[in-house]
Amino acid sequence: MGSQPEPHILFTRDEIAATVKRLATEIRRDYQDKHPLLIGVLKGSFMFMADLIRLLDFPLEVEFITVSSYGRAMESSGKIKVVQGLRSKVRGRDVLVIEDIVDTGLAISFLLDYLRKKKPASLRLCALTDKPSRRQVPVTIDYLGFTVPNKFIVGYGIDWDEKFRYLPDIYTLEGDI
């Protein structure tokens, strides 16, 4: 019989807080006079987005978008679509996309192409975590929190089969998955 998947700590809430603070400093430096549009990619980015935005003390707008790429299986199906779109106009705006993880890169490269067609003034990506060992398409991450190993990670908004999103720290998931 296999063992239940167990979370093992990878980044503590204090390490995450320090990293979010660093990213906020970088983003403030580049966007404080630009009234940017920050687009969080649901669901995984919700916790990161909430913490990051609380540290950005300048005018900005908040949007969310949902891109479906994974089913119950952990591997990307390769079929990507926008399932919940934007209310704000993107044309002419300085847009910063906020992701929780870039894995194969398929979801975010689809989304960046989708947004680029709407003619923003600029388009950049902030990702809390990056798993470069899994990349299938090249992705430029302008603001990066952590590089992570080739393991499933959960917590701080990131799920496994909709579980573990609530954890305040980030864990690797070990065992039979």
Residues that bind ligand PRP (CB under 6 A): 41-44, 69-70, 76, 99-108, 159
Return all residues near 16 (Cβ < 8 A) that are at least 6 apart.
51, 145, 156, 169, 170
Distances in Å between the Cα of 57 and the Cα atoms of 24, 25, 60, 117, 159 are 9, 10, 9, 29, 29
In the complex, least distance from residue 45 CB atom to ligand PRP, rounded to whole angstroms? 7
Closest CA to 146 of 107, 99, 108, 104: 99
Q: Letter for the amino acid at 168?
A: P
Nearer to ligand PRP by Cβ, of 42 and 86: the residue is 42
CB atoms within 10 A of CB 125: 21
In the complex, least distance from residue 33 CB atom to ligand PRP, rounded to whole angstroms? 29
User: CA 12, CA 28: separation in Å to the nearest integer?
Assistant: 24
Quick check: is 161 catalytic?
A: no
Nearer to ligand PRP by Cβ, of 27 and 49: the residue is 49
In the complex, least distance from residue 3 CB atom to ligand PRP, rounded to whole angstroms? 23
Helix 46-54 to helix 13-31 angle, to the nearest 10 degrees? Answer: 60
Nearer to ligand PRP by Cβ, of 78 and 92: the residue is 78
As a residue count, the chain comes to: 177
Nearer to ligand PRP by Cβ, of 38 and 107: the residue is 107
Of 33, 103, 142, 169, catalytic: 103
In the complex, least distance from residue 74 CB atom to ligand PRP, rounded to whole angstroms? 9
- Catalytic residue list: 103
